[in-house]
Structure 1
Amino acid sequence: MIQIEQQAGATTQRVQGAQRNENTAGHRIVIVGGGVGGLGLATRLSESLGRAGLARIVLVDRWPTHFWKPLLHEAASGQLDPATHQLQYAVQAQRHGFEFEQGELTALDRTQRHITVSALRDADGREILPARQIAFDTLVLAVGSVTQYFGVPGAAEHALPLESVAHAEAFRRKLLDACLRASHARRARTAQADTPVSINIVGAGATGVELAAALRDTVRLLNRYSPFSLDPVRDFRIRLIESSERVLPALSETISARAERMLESLGVEVLSATRVTEVRADAVLTDGGSPLASDIAIWTAGIAGPPLLRTLDDIAVNRNAQISVNRTLQCTNDANVFGLGDCAACPADNPGAFLAPRAQVAHQQALFLARALKCRVAGKALPEFVYRDAGTLVGFGREGTIGSLSGGLLTQPVFVDGWFATAVYKLIYRRHVMTLTGFARMALDTASHWLRRRVHPVIRLH
């Protein structure tokens, strides 16, 4: 992991307080959040408005590196080293001509049009960078989401979220520790020798399902190494708990039924129509009966906007703490503030409905804003965002990939599986990398990952 001292060194571009630089012409666009949408938008705007001298682009994020969140389940299961898939914001800023400022958004002044970014501190609490104010003409909030625990007692204390690389690493560490304890108990023939390692995943959406499948691959791979020599079937119990009637409730019944069969073939215990009522350090309680033993619990059941959004100078938010935006992605009570990605409640085609928090929504919104903000800088009317669903793919590790594809020449969603679905699934990430770095760097990055998997173990053991 990159130490905080190195993080400070990565902040190569400084925005000096709230004062505008009188020697810099153009419109100042500040983007808070370097996820799929935020980083993609900063890159595109810097290559168009930035290079033309029409705008100054500033990206703000609390972390020094970008990681594609759909890969978090692979990082959590230990099958992917996050360090080899992270992109440094300062490097991206230098290559494409925008500015990067590291820190966490703490306040917004809509009247004076500036944000406040927190001080950056080292591991001992010493200040590296002071709190700063950054002026803007246009502000884009792309701060993502946080885990929604729905008020379940003990969930926030005892169930890990999966929002970041830090959370994925915490889960992976707990998994290895649990395996070491269990392996020792088998060899020492203690009272716990016959107790399986119990992993409870709350929420059977795409993240929960993919994590459950990845964990089955992981325990099979761990069995190769003597410190973790446990039977992949007998010594592990992986449960997927879902309050809805089926797994992947947001997808079609055909995909859901196929997913459940694949999970069963992997030995994942699926508990649908089961509501979690409490999470304890050693058990998960449900409305279905007896407590479920739990060495590790992870919560993938829902998201909400960051609580900070409720405090930002009366920015309009819904009851889920998401920014209320219209079809131009402008905040409903401030035309200078835009919402992008998971943190924004963007109207869908159906009246009263909103777009789901998905990576492809954020990607399409970034493409839209890259065009719309050119209109804004030029003083033209803004277009309206139209979402086009490209389908959904869900990976099951060595068991393959299933899902649906839509859009383009397809008039109806088409179910896909097998090698074709797996190839498309992998290409989605490579397209994301290519969008940010270009084809040549993406190709080299892909080759380096291929070589790494043939030199290093396919599972992380420390």
Structure 2
Amino acid sequence: MAERRKRIVVVGGGAAGLGLCRSLSKRFRGTHEVTLVDRNRSHVWKPLLHEIAAGALDPNLEEIGYGGHAARWGYRFFQGALERIDREKRVVVTEPLLDEDGDVLLDRHELPYDWLVLAFGGVSNDLGIPGVNEHALFLEHRVQADRFRQKLLNACLRVNAARVAGQGDATLPIVIVGGGATGVELSAELVHAARSLRSYGLEGFEAEAMRITLLEAGPRLLPALGEDVVEKVTAELRDIGVDVRTDTKVTEVRSDGVTTGDGEEIPAKLILWATGVRGDPGVESMSDLELSKLDRIVVHPTLQSVTDDRILAIGDCAHCELPGRDGPVPPRAQAANQMADHVPDVIAAVEAGRTPPNFVYRDYGALVSLSHFDAVGTLMGNIAGGRVAIEGWLARMAYNSLYRLHILSVHGKIRGTAQLIANRIGRAARPRMKLH
């Protein structure tokens, strides 16, 4: 009788989870069965969400269908949301899958595993501030980006109608809370959108009608970048009309604006909360895995859970402290991708009876795109003492290369190159803004 193939279940189809399923299927073909579990049917690369939110990108042309990707690379896809992990039976239980009318499509389901990899990311950190979850918008996945875009376009149409009717002072105030990459990039993308709307039929909409305020509680924007780069970013944002305020804490979020620590009330029709991510609080009820204070799964340096060696966690849902490093590995895309590359080595080592290797995190720097205005960043390496600040065309080229690397990682070299060519042709042929 043929030996049963071992079962690897990956929960979470973000960029790291998607690339991991492809590499696991390729490496363990014939000996392991790989299954991806995700509540959605398709994936959109997270760094594109600010462009989708501002209407600069059509998500339907960028998404990757899990079913098609699974069929192409030899793994299984199961649509469902994680409900709980039964470590004794070694099964993951998914919630019933409902359609848009609330009717059951698939009942609660159990998926057995020999190895379980948790890669479901995190959630926006509301910091315990009143009104955030009730009144703010978030930008962690495609549904939220689509929702922001629709609210943005509706608000722009109202302002345009008011201005055409003679209310020349009608404005659209937008507050973005959080001076990290998401907040900075969305601010610049919104300015570009405001300058483009007149060309798309909103004849009464002037660029200055959209008033963008970017609030950061810390002393400066983009803490992952160097001081000189941050100064340039801040100056560029202010030059294009963004009201940048640092050392400004938000103490309350209301339906019509936010209140700051010094008592100022800043009006807003749209509020975007982008103060970073934390682990999903719901994880505590899903399992008995040890969690950090921010509800991230605590793992050994090998990425194996400290509670169960057969469960690994990667990306934003993992709390990983490495020898010789202060603090846990940061919740960044490059860290998640590097963790995904490490997982197959751990599984292979354990199954061969060897000690699994420790994960090694390499910080390659950070890049920020200011829409069509500029791109800046810091690259890490063996050049100029290990840190190089770049800007302009070089930073733009480096930033665009991240997307190319993502496509190649997910689709492979041949299909990935074809996809990049198709995307380039498609972008040249379609409108620059998605207004529906």
CA contact (8 A) 1:183 1:228 kept: yes
Q: Name the SS of the counterpart of 1:227 in structure 2.
A: coil
Aligned to 1:357: 331
Q: CA deviation at 1:398?
A: 1.3
What's the offset of the Cα at 1:400? 1.8
Name the counterpart of 2:149.
172
Q: Residues 154-193 of structure 1 correspond to what in structure 2 (within 5 A)?
A: 154-190=131-167, 193=168
Q: Which amino acid aligns with 1:104?
A: A
Does structure 1 conserve the Cα–Cα contact (< 8 Å) formed by 2:303 and 2:312?
Answer: yes
Which residue is equivalent to 1:74?
Answer: 51
Amino acid at match of 2:237: L
The answer to whether the aligner puts 1:250 opposite 2:224 as a matched pair is yes
How far did 1:158 drift?
A: 0.7
1:96 aligns with 2:70: no
**Secondary structure in structure 2 of the residue aligned to 1:223:** helix
CA 1:350/1:272 → structure 2, altered by over 3 Å: closer, same or farther?
farther
Corresponding position: 1:281 with 2:255 = yes
Q: Report the secondary structure of 2:4's partner residue.
A: coil
Counterpart of 1:209? Answer: 184
Opposite residue 360 of structure 1, the aligned amino acid is Q
Relative to the length of structure 2, the TM-score reads 0.97
Distance, in Å, in 2 between the alignment partners of 1:279 and 1:176 is 22
Q: Is the 8 A contact 1:180 1:228 kept in 2?
A: no
Paired position in structure 2 for 1:423: 397
Paired with 2:269 and 2:163, the residues of 1 have a C-alpha distance of: 16
The answer for the alignment partner of 1:19 in structure 2 is none
> Structure 2 matches for 1:379-398, cutoff 5 A?
379-398=353-372
Contact in 2 for aligned 1:73/1:168 (Cα 8 Å):
yes
- For residues 4 and 93 of structure 2, the distance between their equivalents in structure 1, rounded to whole angstroms, comes to 22
Q: Deviations over 1:329-364 (max 9, x none)?
A: 011111111110000011145555011111100000
Displacement of 1:370: 2.1
Alignment of 1:30-109 (within 5 A): 30-49=9-28, 51=29, 53-109=30-86
Provide the residue aligned with 1:25 in structure 2: 4
User: Which deviations, in whole Å up to 9, do the C-alpha atoms of 1:125-170 show, x marking residues without a partner?
Assistant: 1111111001111111111010111111111111101111110011
Q: Quick check: 343-352 or 378-387, which moved more? A: 343-352
User: Share of identical aligned residues, percent?
Assistant: 39
Give the unaligned 5+ runs of structure 2. Answer: none
CA distance in 1, matches of 2:432, 2:407: 22
Contact 2:15 2:410 survives alignment (8 Å): no
1:147 — aligned with what? 124
Q: Is 1:378–2:348 an aligned residue pair?
A: no
User: Which residue of structure 2 lines up, in the alignment, with residue 8 of structure 1?
Assistant: none
Match of 1:220 among 172, 177, 195: 195
Q: So what's the TM-score if we normalise by structure 1?
A: 0.91
Residues 1:228 and 1:362: Cα distance change in structure 2 (over 3 Å) = farther
Conserved in 2, the CA contact under 8 Å of 1:404 and 1:414?
yes
Q: Distance in 2 between matches of 1:60 and 1:134?
A: 9
Structure-2 separation of matches of 1:24 and 1:65? 33
* Uncovered stretches (5+) of structure 1, i.e. residues with no partner: 1-21
> Which letter does structure 2 place at the counterpart of 1:210?
E
Letter in 2 for 1:167: Q
Evaluate the alpha carbon distance shift between residue 23 and residue 78 of structure 1 in structure 2; reply closer, same or farther with a 3 A threshold: farther
The total of aligned residue pairs comes to 436
Give the superposition deviation at 1:321.
0.5
RMSD after superposition: 1.6
- Can you list the C-alpha shifts for 1:392-446, whole angstroms capped at 9, x where unaligned? 1000111221011113667511111111110111011111111111223222222
1:128 paired residue among 75, 90, 105: 105
Deviations 1:363-387 (A, max 9, x none): 0001111222221232321000010
| Aligned positions of 1:262-411 closer than 5 A | 262-348=236-322, 350=324, 353-407=327-381, 411=385
